[in-house]
Structure 1
Amino acid sequence: EELKGAGLLSTRMPSNFSVPLPPADPDALTEDEDALTDIDLEELGLLTPRVTED
């Protein structure tokens, strides 16, 4: 209610609002996307660190 009163929350959607559709082939990358690597996932905390035995 406070957000509505402050004008920060509105239930009206803009007329040009649209939700992007997922690609037909989820494994295909567009020209502006890079493939995720294990290192990227590890840095984000989404993959357990690899254990390397010397």
Structure 2
Amino acid sequence: MLDDIQVAIDASEDPLIGLAWSEAGFERLNPFVMQMQAAIELTDDQLDNLFDAATGVV
């Protein structure tokens, strides 16, 4: 999945996307997160599950 995100960032015409990724602090409803969700075609449920899984990592 990280490779897919990197491809989406590289393909973006928005220079702030790369900065947001490099300085990432992720919030579920952050516009950057939602843009990457669409770019890698995740459903809302898949993204929710990803955030749920991430809480167990920290």
Give the TM-score taking structure 1 as reference length.
0.20
Give the TM-score taking structure 2 as reference length.
0.20
